[in-house]
Chain A
Amino acid sequence: MNTLILTSLEQGLIFSVLAMGVIMTYKILDMADLSVEGTFPLGAFVFAKFALAGFNPIISTGLAFVFGSLAGLMTALLFVKLKIRPLLSGILTMTMLYSFNLRLNGRANIPLFNYKSIYGDVPTLLLLAIIIISIKILLDMFLKTEIGYLLIATGDNEVLVKSLGKSTNTYKILGLMLSNGLVGFSGALMAQYQGFVDITMGSSIIVIALASIIIGDSIKRSSNKIKLTTRAIFGAISYRLIGGFAIDLGLSPSDLKAVSALIVIVFISYNNFSSPFINSLKKKGGKSDVRSKKYVEEF
């Protein structure tokens, strides 16, 4: 397989975990949680900390999940108990994690090439596919349980959840913990994959997650047969492939962030307006063709 496609696929799988984490808040709880900008590198730094201390890489990766969910707990408590707005709560956690991540190993950049990682024994693509499919299946099963449905209902209609005799706060806390746990886990997978951790790893990771989710959403938009997790995985892999091709076409990796933001803008506005420009591109011939020419000229 072409190395570009292979790398994009592998990274896409790693970002699927990130995207599956973020759907818990963005799609299910209907809340924008920025703490993930801190929990993604947190997962990486926690992995580094334990790897350097000689822990087994599987255990260190699991600990990245645990620390990630603790960070999610912090965000949840900030807004559930202290009534700080969710958006600000996430920003506060993210800011604190920046300092925490630097403190954790006392450095902003740690090479991991000399330490054992979960990769290496099995082909990376296969290993990642197994991990991602297992997480997907577990999440799908969870969302079918009594507690899982309450999580969905909390994002849907808090009045109903209270009328069922449940506190919505419990489920917001649970959702944020699960979400950030997965994001931390994804950060640890990425750290081992690239062979180093860096304090800038998390910057604009939320845009990558949203771009993936939004791309995933646009497949058969009206169908509720396709699971959220499937959409997240499909979206993350597509996103990474698009990015890979963009670099192949000569785009510098540092331009990729702007491209991610553009993807988010284009897809959201497409979903919001189904703009005449895009519609006219879909149709062919006749009047619409004339119109589309006009739009292209204006463009």
Chain B
Amino acid sequence: MLEVKNMWKSFNLGTDHEINVFRNFSLSFIEGESTAIVGANGCGKSTLLNLISGSLPLDSGKILLKGRDISLLPEEKRSSNIGRVHQNPSFGVSPSLTILENLALANKKGDSFSLRNLVKKDSIPFYKELLKTLDLGLENKIHTQVKFLSGGQRQSLSLLMATMKDPDLLLLDEHTAALDPKTSFVVMEKTKELIEKNNITTVMISHNMSDALKYSQRIIMMDKGEVILDKRSCDVSEKELLDIYTKQLVKKITA
């Protein structure tokens, strides 16, 4: 479904600050499966998603989505098949537009934009139904500008917008990290519902080991641009995961 093949990626190549994040990195993901990626800060998790989505160019290697090489396509060309929710709740929405206007924009994802009116009165019930699935009461505030929503509400809306057009692939980069524990739980549950309902292949980065295990079928741990663990989530306990994680950290500190 998604294949990363022999990928190389460095930053600041040829300077004193050269960082080689990926050296000949390969990884593939299976259709309909939800994969969680964990690993210490700076190991390359976000960079991996940025390379897949096209916000960063590859140095060399290939990325295949459903067998098609997408590694040379610009970000906006890839995005029609890829949905993404960022850590920052402001990245997924247009703050000065209303909830309704944001949903109407998301509903045109990948289509051509014309001089017709964006918001059509007869599609309002459809958007309200969608919002109802979030259980946040947002269906009663469709004319509220998104900048007045809380982080959790914005993130839930981003999630809805990112999955509205049934993407082949959903990329989540610590999308609950900026939220308080309670809101984070609600958003994770919504995420699970949406993924399961639409059967979307998902790659999720998580800073929280128990969430990573709970909400995925496959778990991957990365260290310095390499996969150091790749198992079925049900075969790993949280303690095991934490042990490996701390061992890596200790190694790093004592090295």
Interface string of A140-159 (1 = CB under 8 A from B): 00101111111011001101
Check A156–B76 contact: CB distance below 8 A. Answer: no
Check B117–A166 contact: CB distance below 8 A. Answer: no
State how many angstroms separate the Cβ of A11 from the closest Cβ of chain B. 31
Chain A hits for B111, CB < 8 A: 165
Check A145–B115 contact: CB distance below 8 A. Answer: yes
> What is the total of A-B residue contacts with beta carbons within 8 Å?
80
Check B117–A145 contact: CB distance below 8 A. Answer: yes
CB of A167 closer than 8 Å to a CB of B: yes
Chain A hits for B194, CB < 8 A: none
Check A148–B94 contact: CB distance below 8 A. Answer: no
Check A164–B97 contact: CB distance below 8 A. Answer: no
The listed residue with most A CB atoms (<10 A of its CB), out of B75, B84, B105, is: B105
Among listed B85-93, B177-185, B214-222, interface-contacting one? B85-93
Chain A hits for B162, CB < 8 A: 163
Check B93–A150 contact: CB distance below 8 A. Answer: no
CB of B114 closer than 8 Å to a CB of A: yes
CB of A224 closer than 8 Å to a CB of B: yes
CB of A162 closer than 8 Å to a CB of B: yes
Interface string of A163-175 (1 = CB under 8 A from B): 1111100000000
Check A162–B76 contact: CB distance below 8 A. Answer: yes
Question: Binding site of B, secondary structure by majority: helix, strand, loop or mixed?
Answer: loop
Count of chain A residues near B, Cβ 8 A: 22
State how many angstroms separate the Cβ of B65 from the closest Cβ of chain A. 14
Check B115–A147 contact: CB distance below 8 A. Answer: yes
Measured in the bound complex, the distance between the Cα atoms of B116 and A167 in whole Å is: 19
Chain B hits for A159, CB < 8 A: 86, 91-92
State how many angstroms separate the Cβ of A170 from the closest Cβ of chain B. 10
Measured in the bound complex, the distance between the Cα atoms of B51 and A285 in whole Å is: 64
Given that A152-B96, A152-B97 are contacting pairs, would A162 and B79 also be in contact in the complex, using a CB cutoff of 8 Å? yes
| Chain B: interface size category | 35 or more
Check B79–A157 contact: CB distance below 8 A. Answer: no
Chain B hits for A163, CB < 8 A: 79, 83-84, 92, 109, 162
Measured in the bound complex, the distance between the Cα atoms of B118 and A146 in whole Å is: 4
Measured in the bound complex, the distance between the Cα atoms of B72 and A243 in whole Å is: 56
CB of A160 closer than 8 Å to a CB of B: yes
Chain B hits for A166, CB < 8 A: 76, 113
Task: For chain B, residues 196 to 216, give those with C-beta under 8 angstroms from any C-beta of chain A.
Answer: none
Task: For chain B, residues 220 to 247, give those with C-beta under 8 angstroms from any C-beta of chain A.
Answer: none
Measured in the bound complex, the distance between the Cα atoms of B114 and A166 in whole Å is: 12
Check B97–A156 contact: CB distance below 8 A. Answer: yes
Chain B hits for A152, CB < 8 A: 94, 96-97
Interface string of B107-141 (1 = CB under 8 A from A): 01111011111110000000000000000000000
Chain B hits for A167, CB < 8 A: 74, 76
Chain B hits for A164, CB < 8 A: 76, 79, 105-106, 108-110
CB of B95 closer than 8 Å to a CB of A: yes
List 10 A-B pairs, Cβ < 8 Å: A144-B117, A146-B116, A146-B117, A152-B96, A156-B97, A157-B94, A160-B93, A162-B55, A163-B162, A164-B110
Q: Which B residues contact A (CB, under 8 angstroms)?
A: 55, 74-77, 79-80, 83-84, 86, 90-97, 101, 104-106, 108-111, 113-119, 145, 162
* Closest 3 pairs (CB-CB, A-B): A146-B113, A156-B94, A153-B94
Q: Which A residues contact B (CB, under 8 angstroms)?
A: 142, 144-150, 152-153, 156-157, 159-167, 224
